[in-house]
Amino acid sequence: MFARKIKFARRIKCLTKEQIADYLNVNQEVVDSWERGENLPDFYKLVELSALLGLSIEVLLGAID
């Protein structure tokens, strides 16, 4: 669920994985692993990602649609 949501939101915002990685100060491989559903960001990165994508943490994590 999380992986699909960030991938969709990233595409809607016309952001590349590299741009997200730069914004969050992580490697692009980290963003790849999130979009593949292999890992989740830590809380602080999740807050930053939420702000960047314009989605609440609850929506990103699937607590609400």
Beta-carbon contacts of 57 under 8 Å, excluding residues fewer than 6 positions away, are 46, 47, 50
Does 16 reside within a domain?
yes
Structural domain boundaries, residue 44: 2-60
Contact 63, 5 (CB under 8 A): no
Does 14 reside within a domain?
yes
Does 22 reside within a domain?
yes
Helices vs. strands in the chain: H and E counts, helices first: 5, 0
Instruction: Write the CATH number for 11.
Output: 1.10.260.40
Q: How far from 11 is each of 17, 44, 52, CA to CA, in Å?
A: 9, 22, 12
Does 50 reside within a domain?
yes
When divided into structural domains, the chain yields a total of 1
The answer to pTM > 0.95 is no
Share in percent of the chain as helix, strand, coil (round to 5): 65, 0, 35
Return per-residue pLDDT of the chain as tens, 65 residues. 899 999 999 999 999 999 999 999 999 999 999 999 999 999 999 999 999 999 999 999 887 66
